[in-house]
Structure 1
Amino acid sequence: MNILIKSFYRPHLLDRCLRSIYERVSDAKDIEITVLDDGTPQKYLDKIKQKYPQVKFEFSKFRDEKIKKLDYHLQGIEQYHDVRIPTDLWYDAIAKSSDFLIITEDDVWFVDDFNMHLYAQEMEKYNIHLLKLGRILEKDSDIIPHHQLTDTISYHQPHFIIRSKKFYGILLNNTAHIRTFLERCQLLPKRWVMQLWVMYDIPMGMYRKDYLLFLWKDKYKRVIEQLQLKNAVEWAFRHKGKSKYTLMTNRVMATSYRSSASFNAFNIEENFDLIKFNHILNELWLNGQFDEYQNYPNDFSVDYIYNILAEKENTEFAERWKKWTESFIEMHKES
């Protein structure tokens, strides 16, 4: 069995993730845990290795270059900019993994007990291709009804507008602005995209390997949500409803909204320096001055990080971060 963890320059969060695995996953010692790192300086990973000697590491071909760019940014030599994604590293790791696996990220942790081997057996028995471990869909129950499969697993099947891969490709790509037109004219069902998200969940899902590889099957193995959703539609049509998409009745994973590794993808608070923010917490963690389990199993408290930033940097920086994290949460409310 395998757990893969995508990691980039947030060892203070990676520590939280790994600690939760060893405390909450009942069979963790029998699971191969691999960190797929894309740009974390070695001094941080050395501490992770000391704390979790069983963990394996694999590195992207961009890692060394990205570490240099992070250093240049912190020195004020040049602004960090690098949008390359190590999809080949992730894809190859999945390809050589067990038939059922978890792929997650460094800012995700287990909040409840979980027996991975038991649920692999359940997934095999009920032909489950995706078991969501961190989603709560009560707010969408009128749109995506789900039904109990076992005492701890419920399932839901997506409802398609038209059973046409080409049609969904046009919608997801917004070809010729057709989706925009249909939405403006209110000709699409309410929250139709949520039906597709039933079939995909990174980074809080346990997958059948063959299904996950199909989702990421494109020539360049690009991990772009529209592509993965389009592939999920194709899989569903090919298998004619035989695959099951499920979720835990009680969530067992959660994620943080206090940081981001997507430095170039968005910056809600203009000019807020996420790299500098992560650097401050990373250094404190390295020197034993940051509690990676603060407020566990919930997210880090705002006051805890705010006070750190105010003391180590200044109040203005702390205020900018507070505004950033509030906006980050707001942005993900519908996800």
Structure 2
Amino acid sequence: MITILIKSFNRPFYLDRCLQSIEKFVSGKYKVKILDDGTPKKYLEKIQQKFDFAEILTSAHYAEKTSAIQENFETGQEINGFKIPTDLWVETVKNSTDYVLVTEDDVWFTQPIDLSEIGKDMENHEISLLKLGWLGNFSEDNFLNVSEINANIERTIPKKLFTANEFLMDCFMYNKFKFFTILYKFGIVDNETRRKYFALHSIAMGIYRKDYWLHLWKDAQNLVNEKQQLKNAATWYHKNKHQNFVARTKNEVLKTTFQSAATNSYHKYNVDFDVNYFNHLINEAWFEGHFDSLENFPKDFSPEYFIKFIDEKMNISDFQTWTEKFKQQYRALGASVDF
């Protein structure tokens, strides 16, 4: 059995889409748990009524976060999107099945997948991470040896990836004792080197062996630190290297959005667009039954559909500029964002 854990914050219209995609496309034995960090109670109650198969767990900071959402709406006070409930995530993963998909509310399935079959494949082939989505980005393949495991899965083994014990990887990632600088001067590493370690990681689109996921998030302290996670990935891979350590499905089965974010914290782009107010408007339309969470599915919502609900309340040009800058950020990394 695989546990699907959905990290959620104040976007029930996307959470609804995510859960409906599970109903439509996921088969086999699985559990679904929603790990919520502040979605207002009335929205969560509607989600629970609609999807009784999903268990909802709330973070220790739930009341504080719901208050922050209300204060943001009333006064414009920013919501701190950098403070995250890793304690809830870690504790839930510890008490979950041996394989977990820790995803997010704005990620959804786009085609059928049998998680019982996937779980058996991961166990039989000793796969620690199986990627179900990668934003259409195959530029990583330049750093990988890709070959078939079976009709549905292919191994993706990193080429010439430097790995070592925790002390050396700490020096490498954080350039302690000028370790990275020295390697750079000798041409052993370059500006693209650190990017290669993402071959061992998947933020919200991979099924993990539980022990590997827990190692990645070791010492997270309620903050996102990608460099620390990549260091942890490298040290685990160094100890547990295997020809099938990381793999991916032959076809992507998960997609995400580039038209919304949980808060303004990560995606400002110097555009006068308030994503918190945008989410509020769509949340309310969804709550009142006016917003169809499967519009344009399995593609993302059409921009014109969003505009229907924010027109005359927000500057449409700012919304369009913000989403284009969001997409361009990921295009620059090789992702396919227009689908």
Provide TM-score, normalisation by structure 2. 0.89
Q: Which runs of 5+ in 2 are unaligned?
A: none
Superposition misfits of 4+ residues, deviation over 4 angstroms? 174-187
Q: Confirm or deny that 1:149 pairs with 2:155.
A: no
Q: Confirm or deny that 1:328 pairs with 2:326.
A: yes
Greater Cα shift, 269-278 or 236-245: 236-245
Q: 2:142 and 2:78 mapped to 1: Cα distance?
A: 46
Residues 155 and 248, structure 2, Cα contact 8 Å, conserved in 1: yes
Indicate the SS of the match to 2:233: helix
Question: 1:70 deviation in Å?
Answer: 1.1
Residues 4 and 33, structure 2, Cα contact 8 Å, conserved in 1: yes
Residues 190 and 174 of structure 1, relative CA distance in 2, 3 Å threshold = closer
Superposed CA deviations along residues 70-126 of structure 1, whole A, max 9, x for unmatched, are: 111111263434532100000001000001121100000000101011100000000
How do residues 76-91 of structure 1 correspond to structure 2 at under 5 angstroms? 76=75, 78-81=77-80, 83-91=82-90
Code of the residue aligned with 2:146 in structure 1: it is H
Residues 249 and 74 of structure 1, relative CA distance in 2, 3 Å threshold = same
Question: 1:243 deviation in Å?
Answer: 5.3
Alignment correspondent of 2:13? 12
Code of the residue aligned with 1:96 in structure 2: it is N
Superposed CA deviations along residues 152-192 of structure 1, whole A, max 9, x for unmatched, are: 10111123454434444334324477657976997625732
What's the % identity of the aligned pairs? Answer: 34
Question: 1:242 deviation in Å?
Answer: 5.4
Residues 126 and 49 of structure 1, relative CA distance in 2, 3 Å threshold = same
Question: 1:300 deviation in Å?
Answer: 1.4
Q: Which runs of 5+ in 1 are unaligned?
A: none
Residues 181 and 296 of structure 1, relative CA distance in 2, 3 Å threshold = farther
Q: How many residues align?
A: 330
Question: 1:332 deviation in Å?
Answer: 1.8
Q: 1:184 and 1:113 mapped to 2: Cα distance?
A: 48
Greater Cα shift, 262-271 or 120-129: 262-271
Residues 82 and 212 of structure 1, relative CA distance in 2, 3 Å threshold = closer
Residues 158 and 198, structure 1, Cα contact 8 Å, conserved in 2: yes
Q: CA RMSD in A?
A: 2.3
Residues 161 and 54 of structure 1, relative CA distance in 2, 3 Å threshold = closer
Alignment correspondent of 2:301? 300
Residues 108 and 253, structure 1, Cα contact 8 Å, conserved in 2: yes
Indicate the SS of the match to 2:64: helix
Q: 1:257 and 1:102 mapped to 2: Cα distance?
A: 21
Q: Confirm or deny that 1:268 pairs with 2:266.
A: no
Superposed CA deviations along residues 238-292 of structure 1, whole A, max 9, x for unmatched, are: 1243551000100000001110114323412434211101000000000111111
Alignment correspondent of 2:249? 248
Residues 145 and 159, structure 2, Cα contact 8 Å, conserved in 1: no
Superposed CA deviations along residues 41-88 of structure 1, whole A, max 9, x for unmatched, are: 011011111111121111111111111111111112634345321000
Code of the residue aligned with 1:282 in structure 2: it is N
Q: 1:76 and 1:185 mapped to 2: Cα distance?
A: 54
Indicate the SS of the match to 1:206: strand
Q: 2:75 and 2:14 mapped to 1: Cα distance?
A: 25
Q: 1:131 and 1:163 mapped to 2: Cα distance?
A: 20
Q: 2:327 and 2:181 mapped to 1: Cα distance?
A: 25
Code of the residue aligned with 1:193 in structure 2: it is R
Greater Cα shift, 298-307 or 185-194: 185-194
Alignment correspondent of 1:33? 32
Residues 162 and 33 of structure 1, relative CA distance in 2, 3 Å threshold = closer
